[in-house]
Amino acid sequence: MGTQREQGDGRWGNPRLIAGRYRLDARLGRGGMGVVWRATDRLLRRQVAVKELLLDETLSADEVRQQRDRTLREARAVAQLSHPHIIVVHDVVEHDERPFIVMELIDGCSLAERISRDGPLDAPEAARIGIALLSALRTAHAAGVLHRDLKPANVLLEPATGRVVLTDFGIARLTGAPTLTESGTFVGSPEYTAPERMTGARTGPESDLWSLGALLCASLSGESPFRRDSLGGIVHAVIADDIRPPVEAEPLLPVVRGLLERDPDQRLDAERAERMLRDFLDMGRLPPQAVAYRRRRVLVGALLVAATAGAGASAAALLMNGEGGTPRPDVSAPAGYRVVEEPAGFSLAVPAGFTRRAQGLYVSSGETFRLSVRISEPEPGGPLDAMRRAHAKGPDTHAGYRDGRVIATTHHGHPAARREFTWNAGGLAKSTYELWWQEDGRLYEVQVSAPVGEVRLGRAYFDVALDTFMRA
């Protein structure tokens, strides 16, 4: 196709020059939505990549409009993002009534090509790529942009710099924009599509994180854990089969299992997944305190009902309720912890050696570590504004308050905010981690303080507390 157009096509005029500025030099690749060309920007005299939308001559005028809208939406979604691991969009032009997206040219190959050529990655390299993609997704999600097609073919690697670049937001959706997905279908790659998207139940940032979990498995083993011989087999594997990460994923298993949690509200969030992968690179392993996420069998039943409507209510009910009644999530303490129940109506796992000092307050011997939980009425503006106010008052409430930062996030689908800071307690420098979230009309606060020299252990205590926290 590229050769034919280079030789001339009467519909194009000059087949190698787009919008009087971009000269198409060579075809780099082809995807579901278009062809990517290596091109020359004759005005700025630089090499760029140009994505051309392919039009099917059998499409109706309305379908052609949808394709054009999708491409323009991709450009607008990505152009507003600025991040070292997200492809840079330089320009959007139209030529011969076709849109073209002009992007930076990455001198490298896709992750899919690298796996095909060199075989699966080792765990440190997979973790490095995962960290880069999580950082990119956090920026995109904060801007209201969903990728919706995260897979190895859409991750570019630049060998000279080691840079990882997320590209092809071809089906990304700006929050609030109308979907272009036709009824009864979904857009994306089934082996990397989250179960809630597969069934049409919902689509959110959590869906991109599921895709990342499948991508990590593919990076480590060579293929997605949901690969099957047919589309029907893939759908069943995603929404119903036991999820069996490959043995090669063992070093990163808590991260992979957390990302491949079928309940999007229980799925590992981007911030925590990134932190766990960084811990792995720092220590060569994940800390023993890393725990698997709770799973709710009821969601699997609900997904099956959505995917196999009309297949029989009794079977669906059995899947949802087991032998009768909807099960509550199981809570168990990892080794070295114990589950405590508070009169205020919650339970969580605390280190076995911690002593209860007051309601929701547990301390280590010598009180060098402190773990506290507080429940209060919601504050104006939600947890993020409340935490920002606390941050502003930090120097007044904590001696030597410094290195404070507040991050907007979510906790099990609820609005949340996270703060980290350093301060002085009786001459000892301490680091504090806390998460505030709003749920069912209440504000929940979980906080752990640890000596600066033992931040990894303090962070592990914090992670376990959050993972095991359960309201009565």
The CATH architecture to which 109-295 belongs is Orthogonal Bundle (1.10)
Alpha carbon distance 25, 195 (integer Å): 40
Catalytic annotation, residues? 149
Question: Which residues are CB-contacts of 65 (< 8 A; sequence separation ≥ 6)?
Answer: none
pLDDT of residue 184: 45
CA distances from 311 to 262, 304, 306, 378, 445 (A): 21, 9, 10, 44, 44
Q: Which of 127-141, 272-286, 294-308 has the highest mean pLDDT?
A: 127-141
Cβ atoms of residues 93 and 24 within 8 Å = no
Domain 2-104 carries which CATH code? 3.30.200.20
Alpha carbon distance 455, 335 (integer Å): 19
- Written as one letter, the residue type at 229 is D
SS3 label, residue 38: strand
Alpha helix locations (H) across 359-412?
Answer: 382-392, 394-397
pLDDT in tens, 220-252: 999 999 999 888 889 889 998 888 899 899 899
Alpha helix locations (H) across 365-428?
Answer: 382-392, 394-397
- Written as one letter, the residue type at 359 is Q
In this structure, the dihedral spanned by the alpha carbons of residues 173, 187, 30 and 2, taken in order and rounded to 10 degrees, is: -90
Cβ atoms of residues 59 and 90 within 8 Å = no
Question: Where exactly are the structural domains of the chain?
Answer: 2-104, 109-295, 337-471
Alpha carbon distance 83, 409 (integer Å): 18
More confident residue, 176 or 253: 253
Tell me which of 169-178, 308-317, 363-372 is least confident. Answer: 308-317
When computed from its CA atoms, the radius of gyration of the chain, rounded to whole angstroms, is 25
Residue 459: exposed, middle, or buried by beta-carbon count in 10 A (0-12, 13-18, 19+)? Answer: buried
pLDDT in tens, 393-445: 999 999 999 999 998 887 877 889 999 999 999 889 999 999 999 998 999 99
Question: pTM higher than 0.85 for the full model?
Answer: no
Alpha helix locations (H) across 143-263?
Answer: 195-198, 205-221, 231-239, 253-259
Residue 121 has pLDDT above 70, yes or no: yes
Residue 354 has pLDDT above 50, yes or no: yes
Q: Indicate the pLDDT class of residue 55, thresholds 50, 70 and 90.
A: low
Distance of CA 396 to the CA centre of its chain: 36
> Which two three-digit tokens encode residue 321?
């309720």
Query: Does the structural domain 337-471 have CATH classification 3.40.640.10?
Result: no
Residue 287 has pLDDT above 70, yes or no: no
